[in-house]
Structure 1
Amino acid sequence: MSGHRSGTRLLTLAAVSAAVSAGYGLLVRPRLLTWGATRDEATRVFPGDEIVLVADSSSTMATTLPAPPEAVWAWLVQMGGDRGGWYSWDWLDHFGRPSADRIAPEWQTLAEGQHLNTAPDGRSWFTVAVLEPNRTLVLRSDLELPSGRSFDPGTTGFPPRARMDGIWGFHLRPADDGASTRLVVRTRGTGRPRTFNRILGVLFGEPAHFIMQIRQFQNLRTRVGTTA
């Protein structure tokens, strides 16, 4: 009898786990991946998407900010771990230092190919992949696993066998009211080994990005609102 009860509990636990997983996959995950975005924004092709042609994971999140695109751009263009920060949870992604709360002239210059450090020792970084002032900023990340060190795909010959590649794109468009900005943030990622990266993305990468991106939206709204 005890064996029968144990088997029943295991079956019940498996059924509950399957139901929770299905509910997350069908109801929660799609909302996380498209938070704030319209259907058109979520399905539109943006500059930089072609960098990761076949993505294992992708998200499109959006918000409306109370300032015109050029005002929002001034905050985005100075992002970087060794610059103005990322305007998110600084204790997680800016070495505990507060992100900039002002427009700094020395950080208003950015160029394609430039590295924006994400670690204080310079071992990891984003590369500016697409730059169209006041309209598009796409940052590229190529990380070797398990070290987490960045590499430049064009200069390293064969890429590492275990790696994570992705983009983080910021796309600004004037809102319908003519005074605000629609900010659409697109991510696309892939990696090797593929199964491992897919599981890691669903379990950790996507929820972490959602939390950090929501925080960035909130902090950008505060900043552009005080300078608009």
Structure 2
Amino acid sequence: MRRSAAPWLVLGVAALTAAVWVAARAYREVRNWGAEPADLARDLPGDDLLPDAEFARTRAVNIDASSELVWRWLMRSGRPYGWLRGRWLGQFDGYALTLALIEPPRLLVLRQGGPGQPWDLTWAFMIIDGQRGWRRLVIRTRARAHPGLLGRIGLAGFRLLDPLTVATTRRMLLDVKYHAEASRLDPLSS
């Protein structure tokens, strides 16, 4: 006796649909990891470089350390050489990050894009004074696709890879927090 595959197919489609729905819901909760409503509403330096951005994410963490310590560890996080390696900040498969704005120890804005690249991107790092001596490290990424198919594919890639970016940005924020707070407690460790 041959069994029908239809019930298994329906069950499989239902399970896949439920998994995609749960994953999308979870992603919506973490895509702006650590950001509070005030962080999302706040204009950051660098936002004006891409006022018509099609993609924007804001992530943040509170750090119990001075702005100088947070800045020091933020600069060290751009490994292997740090963010500030002259005017050009590294080549990653032909996509150079350039220094758009810097105001130590509070602000760093990097930019990527230009002729021959599928998108324009800004990456802003802002250290904001918080309550009781805490600092808030806020990171905002904004992107806009260049016209044409390559630009659309590049922006789609940004969106598809964003869950991975959530994890790596979160790790970077927590690393800066850990090292800055440890340096505050043990000045010999910095």
Where on the TM-score scale, by shorter chain, does this alignment land: which range? 0.7 to 0.9
Deviates more, 1:208-217 or 1:13-22: 13-22
TM-score for both structures, normalised by structure 1: 0.67
Closer/same/farther in 2, CA of residues 10 and 198 from structure 1, 3 Å limit? farther
Structure in which a larger fraction of residues adopt helix: 2
Does residue 226 of structure 1 match 2:182?
yes
CA deviation map 1:150-208 (0-9, x unaligned) = xxx3xxxxx22x6133122111111101x22111111112325354334322322x122
Give the superposed CA RMSD: 2.8
Counterpart of 2:187?
A: none
2:137 aligns with one of 162, 183, 191: 183
Structure 2: runs of 5+ lacking an equivalent: 185-190
Retained in 2: the 8 A contact 1:80–1:118?
A: no
Letter paired with 2:158: G
Closer/same/farther in 2, CA of residues 166 and 6 from structure 1, 3 Å limit? farther
Q: Distance in 1 between matches of 2:49 and 2:14?
A: 40
- Give the SS at the match of 1:46: coil
Counterpart of 1:92?
A: none
Closer/same/farther in 2, CA of residues 202 and 14 from structure 1, 3 Å limit? farther
Retained in 1: the 8 A contact 2:119–2:155?
A: no
1:128-207 to 2 correspondences below 5 Å = 128-142=99-113, 153=114, 159-160=115-116, 163-177=118-132, 179-192=133-146, 193=149, 194-204=151-161, 206-207=162-163
Closer/same/farther in 2, CA of residues 63 and 191 from structure 1, 3 Å limit? same
Letter paired with 1:128: L
Retained in 1: the 8 A contact 2:107–2:124?
A: yes
TM-score for both structures, normalised by structure 2: 0.78
Letter paired with 1:140: R
- Give the SS at the match of 1:186: strand
The Cα shift of 1:56 comes to 3.0
Q: Distance in 2 between matches of 1:81 and 1:220?
A: 12
The Cα shift of 1:78 comes to 5.0
Structure 1: runs of 5+ lacking an equivalent: 86-106, 143-152, 154-158
Does residue 16 of structure 1 match 2:15?
yes
Retained in 2: the 8 A contact 1:190–1:197?
A: no
Letter paired with 1:209: T
Q: Distance in 2 between matches of 1:33 and 1:78?
A: 24
Q: What is the aligned residue count? A: 181
